[in-house]
Amino acid sequence: MEIQEIKQRFGIIGNSPLLNRAINIANQVAPTDISVLITGESGSGKEVFSHIIHQMSPRKHGPFIAVNCGAIPEGTIDSELFGHEKGAYTGAVGERKGYFETVNGGTIFLDEIAEMPLGTQARLLRVLESGQYIKVGSSKVEKTNVRVIAATNVDVYDAVRNGKFREDLYYRLNTVPLRIPPLRDRKEDIYLIFRKFTSDFTAKYRSPPIQLDEAAQQVLINYTWPGNVRQLKNIAEQLAVLERDRTITAQSLATYIPLEQGGGNNRNLPMKIENNGKEDLSERDILYKVLFDMKRDMVELKKLVADIIEHGGVPHSGNQQVINQLYRDIELPNNSDQQFTIQQPVHSNDGNFNITHAAEEVEESLSLIEKESDLIRKALKKHKGKRKLAAHELGISERTLYRKIKELNL
């Protein structure tokens, strides 16, 4: 089937080369039974491509089911996928068929596959390799003939490196990778899709048609669209329902699409910062950084004091006061064992200062627990006891902060 026919059949709008390539790959792989891994940002249309592959395959008359792996609790996902026997666990009052049994002969679409627990990944790998599985609470091996299409909006290979996704399953699923381009990489398609959405919504709500002036079109095209097609559809529906003036200007569109201050027309929305499983390493990094920063401050302070004394920048009687003030400017941890003794400079006969080496006694505590405790106190004090903000400042999760407060008895 030609690409244009596929677009018309499945309601796909756009002529971007990246989009056409993705449709062509889906069309080529559909007649086979090869597993497909669909990658792309949230809202880019991954599920539509799973329907294309199923409907263009010999299994098109068989069942199709889409399963969101991230929406199923970890304790029940095995039962959902593979079924369970009566009494397999508390609450299992009867036998239950899993998706791999009910979709036998068809296609199962596993969305957000990267959210699947590692134990379930091992069972899924066995299904992909041999078509065999075992129900929860049973010892009988069952057989199934199901094609698996998986999708994710995260970097699966990065999850493999962090131990969150099985490497063997990744290569088994990634036989044919299919990447769906984000909307910002299909700028030539944005206005076409928007016009289709507004046409549908104005017909649905029986409202006058909507038009964008030239400036508004440029705003629409140049926006980054972090929510992709889903976000564009929502904005089109809002405009169709809420706007009284049916000719949309850049100013009125700005109330729906946030603009940068200073006249720019792009603004990235806040993005999730992934922990990547390095929570403990981040804590150590913070502590080591504090220690190194303190050491650097000490060196800089000694240089500054010596420079002041050498150049006679302050009166003799004020030297110790200035030195004390400089030391107060450096924040030391509570309960610190660091002690400093500065020997006063003496006047020579010619009225200049003679520099004598300061006797410095340093007994620095290198206990990570003390440094960690002090960091947490400072963060909590800075954010007035708001633990969520303090955790963000420290670069750790809020749950970890709660645990640390309890462990350190703060």
Interval 154-164: pLDDT, tens: 998 899 999 99
Is residue 23 pLDDT above 60, yes or no?
yes
DSSP secondary structure string for all residues of 163-214: TSS-HHHHHHHTTEEEEPPPGGG-HHHHHHHHHHHHHHHHHHTT----EE-H
- For tokens 């401050």, what's the residue? 297
pLDDT of residue 268: 45
Helix (H) or strand (E) holding 147: strand 147-152
Q: Answer yes or no: do 173 and 48 share one domain.
A: yes
Cβ atoms of residues 46 and 182 within 8 Å = no
**Dihedral sign from CA coordinates of 309, 311, 313, 316:** positive
Cβ atoms of residues 99 and 144 within 8 Å = no
CATH number at residue 213: 1.10.8.60
Q: Which residues 6+ apart lie within 8 Å of 72 measured at CB?
A: 80
pLDDT of residue 266: 43
Last residue of a domain, one of 181, 202, 220: 181
Q: Report the share of the chain in percent with pLDDT over 70.
A: 76
Tally of domains within the chain: 3
Does residue 168 belong to any structural domain of this protein? Answer: yes
HEC secondary structure over 78-111: HHHHHCECCCCCCCCCCCECCHHHHCCCCEEEEE
CATH number at residue 90: 3.40.50.300
Is residue 359 pLDDT above 80, yes or no?
no
- Spatial separation of the C-alpha atoms in residues 231 and 93, rounded to whole Å: 42
The model's pLDDT over 230-257, given as tens digits with 9 standing for 90+, comes to 999 999 999 998 888 889 998 888 888 8
- Spatial separation of the C-alpha atoms in residues 98 and 79, rounded to whole Å: 6
Provide the pLDDT confidence category of residue 328 given band limits of 50, 70 and 90. Answer: low
Q: Answer yes or no: do 246 and 298 share one domain.
A: no
Q: Over the range 19-55, which residues count as b (16 or more CB within 10 Å of their CB) and which as e? A: bbebbebbbebbeeeebbbbbbbebbbbebbbbbbbb
Last residue of a domain, one of 127, 154, 181: 181
- Spatial separation of the C-alpha atoms in residues 7 and 1, rounded to whole Å: 10
| pLDDT, averaged across the chain | 80
Last residue of a domain, one of 254, 270, 296: 254
Q: Answer yes or no: do 389 and 315 share one domain.
A: yes
Range of the domain at 361: 279-407
- For tokens 């410095």, what's the residue? 360
Q: pTM of whole model > 0.95?
A: no
pLDDT of residue 103: 94
Does residue 318 belong to any structural domain of this protein? Answer: yes
Q: Answer yes or no: do 193 and 170 share one domain.
A: no
Is residue 30 pLDDT above 90, yes or no?
yes
Q: Answer yes or no: do 177 and 198 share one domain.
A: no
